[in-house]
Amino acid sequence: MLKITVIGAGSTYTPELVVGFLTRLTSLPLTELCLMDIDPQRLEIVGGFAQRIAQAHGSPFRVVLSQDLRQAIAGASYVITQFRVGMMAARRADEYLGQRHGLIGQETTGVGGIAKALRTIPVVLHIAATLAEVAPNALLLNFTNPSGLVTEALARYAPAVTAVGVCNSGITAKMQFLGLYQRIAGRTVDPDSVQLDTLGLNHLTWHRGLFVAGEQVWPQFFAAYLDELKAQAHPEWDIQTLQTLGMIPNYYLQYFYYRQRKLAAQDQWPPSRAEEVMRIEGDLLRQYADPSLTAPPAGLMQRGGAWYSTLATQVIVSHYNDLGQIHVLNTRHNGAVSGWPADWVLELPARVDAQGIHPLPAAPLPPVCFGLLAAIKMVELLTVAAAVHGDRHALYEALLVHPLGPQADQVQALLDDMLETNRAYLPQFFRA
């Protein structure tokens, strides 16, 4: 019996995941997919749709719906976490928290990412504790944002659980880069033969290499990438910065490199991104509730998260079949990057086999990147401590050190606002 459990299965992403499992039955003989969520209405809608998708393919595995965490996890070989504490209303609150303090308002980057982590980490650690009791040999794949920060908390406070942080940004970059490479090479390339050399933290990585069938093609690819940017009226990166780095930054680094541009854009709210997603999800859920619908609608792509199911299923298949495939993942690097603290969780290429997740040796980033990375890693470590212990002093320090945080004399006001806004989800900060 092979059981996979999805926690937060009321997500509109779940149908894509179901399709991913259906397309890999020959390499992943799934017998039970347990969909767990605490929201009964969303579970009924999304779960019911997932069951119809499976039925349309001959019901090769059972799709079971559950609101009971322990029951859902018991006996699972793989557990995927993809939930949002406070749901989309909390994301909207994170975005407007930043905006009203004159800061970046974003769900994973800046003060919004800290707020989300405070809500999320205690829940993830509770899930991990349950997992250790009822499915101790399971692999936990954490998609819940901020993925790297949450994985850092798991590594430090749930070391008995085998966990890996998963994010679609790496595979999305790989597929976008592959598209350009195929155009300049004039040939089609198997995506499985392509490996991205990237290093950093989740949503804070720099791409610096591209291998096709083992051959490093970065010099010609990078030159073509710059040529494409030069031809654009409004390129997303300035040429001099990329030429200086010799690398392509993760999209989220725009919040650091072009802060004023991002601040100006959020001055146009509403709608914020959360409000856009709420509209998209409302449309999707109405479609999912249609009893005649048996395949994910085209509108799902508007939700974001491209290649999500591809990455999730590839990691599981590689682990289950001991394939040793290489994927960009979030894991404690254990000395893979020389000179960096070995206990840091990083986002980097790692080999996935039946024994677990093995980060590959990687050259350290240059000082121009490491300086920012180190500051954000300190934010992560302080945020983890704050979330686990309800430590207001650690939270103050996290806000103080954050490059996108408030000025020193405004930290307390933002901290108070953050905690009060999220009071219902942060009991650890309000104990007598």
Instruction: Pick the catalytic residue from 13, 78, 181, 252.
Output: 252
288 is catalytic: no
Work out the angle between the directed axes of helices 40-56 and 273-288 (0-180°, nearest 10): 60
Q: DSSP characters for 76-140?
A: -SEEEE---TTHHHHHHHHHHHHHHTTS---SSSTHHHHHHHHHHHHHHHHHHHHHHHH-TTPEE
Q: Given the structure tokens 């993809």, which residue do they identify?
A: 82
Annotate 119-157 with b (16+ C-beta within 10 A) or e (fewer).
bbbbbbbebbebbbeebeebbbbbbbbbbbbbbbbbbbb
Q: Which among 2, 59, 73 has a CA at the least distance from the CA of 320?
A: 2
d(CA 117, CA 114): 5
CA dist 426 → 55, 62, 116, 292, 389 (Å): 41, 36, 10, 41, 11
Name, in order, each residue with C-beta under 8 angstroms of 59's C-beta and a sequence gap of 6 or more.
none
CA dist 9 → 12, 35, 65, 80, 84 (Å): 8, 5, 9, 9, 11
CA dist 432 → 28, 356, 418, 426, 428 (Å): 50, 42, 19, 13, 10
Question: Which residues lie across from 162 on neighbouring strands?
Answer: 139
CA dist 279 → 40, 127, 266, 270, 285 (Å): 20, 30, 18, 12, 10
d(CA 383, CA 385): 5
d(CA 374, CA 154): 19
* Residue type for position 408: A
The radius of gyration computed from the CA coordinates of the chain, to the nearest angstrom, equals 21
Contact 70, 7 (CB under 8 A): no
Catalytic positions, written as ranges: 252
